[in-house]
Amino acid sequence: MFTLLIVIHILTAVSLVLIVLLQSGRGAELGAAFGGMGQATFGPTRSTFLTKLTTSLAVVFMATSLTLAFLYTDRPSTSVMSVVAPVAEPLPTATPAVPGASEPAKSEAATPAAAPMEQKDAPKQ
C-alpha cells in the first residue's frame, strides 16, 4: 500500500506540473489591457476543464501527501549509522616504550647535535 501511494503521489505531482504549464496565466493579456481594460482583466473567470482538473489534482496531491506523512510516522525508524560498520580503533601515535625501562632509550646515533659537531672538528686536508 505504501508503494502504491508513492506511485500515485509521483504521478499526480508530474501531471499537476504539466497541467499548470499548459494553462495561460490570469494576467496574460495585461500588456494589451493598459489601454482601457482596467479591472476586467482580473475580473470573474469561467471555469474550464483545465482549471477543474488542476483543482482535483491538487486535492489528490495534498491527500496523498498527508496520508504518506501519517503512514511514514508509524514505521520504525532506522538510523543511517546503524547500517555503517563500526570503525576500528585508531593506532596510537606515541612511540612505544622499551620493556623494563621507565623512559625510552636514547641511542648515540640518534642525537642530532653529535653529527654536525664531528664534521666541524675534522681537520682539513
Question: Which contiguous run of DSSP H or E holds residue 5?
Answer: helix 2-22
Question: pLDDT band at 7, cuts 50/70/90?
Answer: very high
Rounded Cα distance, 51 and 31, in Å: 23
Spatial CA neighbour of 5 closest among 71, 99, 79: 71
Give Dmax (Cα) for the chain: 111
- pLDDT of 65 reads 95
Spatial CA neighbour of 108 closest among 98, 118, 100, 99: 118
- pLDDT of 121 reads 57
Residue 80 grid cell: 543511517
**For residue range 68-92, what is the model confidence (pLDDT) as tens digits?**
998 888 767 677 677 676 677 777 7
What average pLDDT does range 46-65 have in this prediction? Answer: 91
pLDDT at 125 over 90: no
